[in-house]
Amino acid sequence: MPDIRSTQNALSITKLISQASRSRRFVGILNAGDTIRFGHTSLTLYKNSNNCLFLRNPKLGIDFSLLSGINTIGRGLDQHLVLRDAKVSREHASLIVSRDGTVRVFDHNPTNPSVIKGSMPRYVEPTTKDIIAHLRNDDRPSLAGIVKGLTRNMEKAFRSGVVSLTRDYHGQVCVMNSDGGETTWWSPDKNWHLLGFEHLPTEQERSSTYNAYEEWVRLQVYFGEKNDPALAMKHFQNKFGDPCGIRLLNIQTANDVYYVMDLLSLIPGQTLKNSVNIINFSASRDRSARYAQYKEETKEIGLIRNCIRPDKYLLTGLLLHEMGHAVMHSMNEDQITRLRGLYKRFWNNNNVLGVDFLMVSARDRIRYQYNTNDPDEFAAENFMHFLIFGRQGFIARSRNKALTAELCGLFEELYGEKDFDALEVLAKA
């Protein structure tokens, strides 16, 4: 069983993950000491004294070194690791090794899926690059099986950003549903069906569900504290505060700061200077039913915390949408005229773009744009799609590719470069 390896290309880890995950299933994280099974063949991951990773099968005498980047596995002779196993397909799986040594496993063949045995599934804090890559490829990993007591139905409800759990004055667990209007509080006996319950839960079920929610919030809503907040703010001040005059309000941790820095790095510096003064993680609410807002008079991008509990994925979409509003207000008159003309042509050609992600269906997104009939919303929504999906993915989702390419060209003028892609920018951050 030879160790066959082609030359690894010099693509960023983000690009490699994006390539490997497209139309393929994310299996999980492989840790040292874990065993992974491909068909009938089981391999164990080890780390030697030099911290180099390799797979071993003592029965067959195989030692296969893993290099940074993509490591392909299958029966095909063009694979890096060739397995002579009838249950293994020609292109069976990919193991992607990040710079920090994290080994992600992706399945190419759902008929005989790869299985990781050993340690329990581990949660890995997603970076901003991971978040946008997951949104782009629709392969966001689930925390069901990682967070004790968390079911798929619960996760679906929590990801919506409008369903959360709280305790009333008597300490009883209540399901709270915020529909974007005024927050509505429910009694302990209502709305448990939103979490998949077909009966009124027992006290024990309520308690375990509440604990699962609290853990989900810890992992998915807040960014973990890994760095010094004062140092993070110093980095922010040097990169965005002094040059662009941007202030941060109500940001809780150092990783919050670095997250915002990643998102701001996707916008041209001059555009930021002209259009954004404040990023506020707990903005005061206006009379609308919005989850986030851009205030042109103060140039503030704000998240309305009191009517939504977003996870990082929803938060990314909301803030990028509001950045779209800010970007539009930084355009010159010619660009605004062209944008409004494109809006009319999109409308007349029934080319309004909508995609199924962030817990809103494509149909609802399209209906929203038609109902609002607002060029500003058209610009903000499509700028968010442009950043998340990239030029290629954005155009591929469109009914009229030539028309959408024109819109991409207008957005790309802001950057002074053709084929701008957010993942490439984040890979260099």
Per-residue pLDDT tens digits for 11-57: 455 555 555 554 467 778 888 888 888 888 888 888 876 778 889 88
31 with 76, same domain: the answer is yes
- Domain boundary among the residues 160, 192, 220 is at 220
Q: What pTM, to 2 d.p., does this model score?
A: 0.70
157 with 234, same domain: the answer is no
Per-residue pLDDT at 4: 38
pLDDT higher than 50, residue 219: yes
Per-residue pLDDT at 371: 67
310 with 232, same domain: the answer is yes
> Cα(62)–Cα(54) distance, rounded to whole angstroms?
10
Instruction: Band the pLDDT of 163: cuts 50, 70, 90.
Output: confident
pLDDT higher than 80, residue 93: yes
- Residue from 120, 158, 49, 429 nearest 166 by CA: 158
CATH number at residue 54: 2.60.200
263 with 175, same domain: the answer is no
Instruction: Band the pLDDT of 405: cuts 50, 70, 90.
Output: very high
Q: How many residues does the chain have?
A: 429
Per-residue pLDDT at 248: 92
> Cα(202)–Cα(120) distance, rounded to whole angstroms?
28
DSSP one-letter string for 72-90: EEESSTTSSEE---TTS-T
The amino acid at 340: R
237 with 256, same domain: the answer is yes
104 with 35, same domain: the answer is yes
348 with 298, same domain: the answer is no
- Domain boundary among the residues 220, 253, 274 is at 220
**DSSP 8-state secondary structure symbol assigned to residue 358:** T
Q: Centre a 10 Å sphere on the Cβ of residue 201 and count the other Cβ atoms it contains.
A: 17
Q: What is the average per-residue pLDDT within 106-118?
A: 75
Per-residue pLDDT at 203: 92
User: Do the Cβ atoms of 310 and 221 come closer than 8 Å?
Assistant: yes
Per-residue pLDDT at 238: 92
Query: Residue 352 burial (CB < 10 Å; 0-12/13-18/19+)?
Result: buried
User: Do the Cβ atoms of 366 and 352 come closer than 8 Å?
Assistant: yes
Is 171 within the bounds of a domain?
Answer: yes
pLDDT higher than 60, residue 414: yes
- Domain boundary among the residues 170, 196, 220 is at 220
- 311-350 pLDDT, tens digit each: 888 889 889 999 999 988 888 899 999 988 888 888 777 7
304 with 353, same domain: the answer is no
Is 131 within the bounds of a domain?
Answer: no
- 165-197 pLDDT, tens digit each: 988 888 899 998 876 444 556 778 888 998 999
Cα 14 from chain centroid? 12
Range(s) of the domain holding residue 26: 13-122
Is 137 within the bounds of a domain?
Answer: no
Which has the higher per-residue pLDDT, 144 or 109? 144
- 233-249 pLDDT, tens digit each: 999 999 999 999 999 99
116 with 17, same domain: the answer is yes
Number of folded domains that form the chain: 4
Is 247 within the bounds of a domain?
Answer: yes
Is 5 within the bounds of a domain?
Answer: no
Is 343 within the bounds of a domain?
Answer: yes
Is 190 within the bounds of a domain?
Answer: yes
19 with 77, same domain: the answer is yes
321 with 363, same domain: the answer is no
Q: Cα(first)–Cα(last) distance of the chain, in Å? A: 40
Token reading at 20: 């490997």
117 with 47, same domain: the answer is yes
Is 167 within the bounds of a domain?
Answer: yes
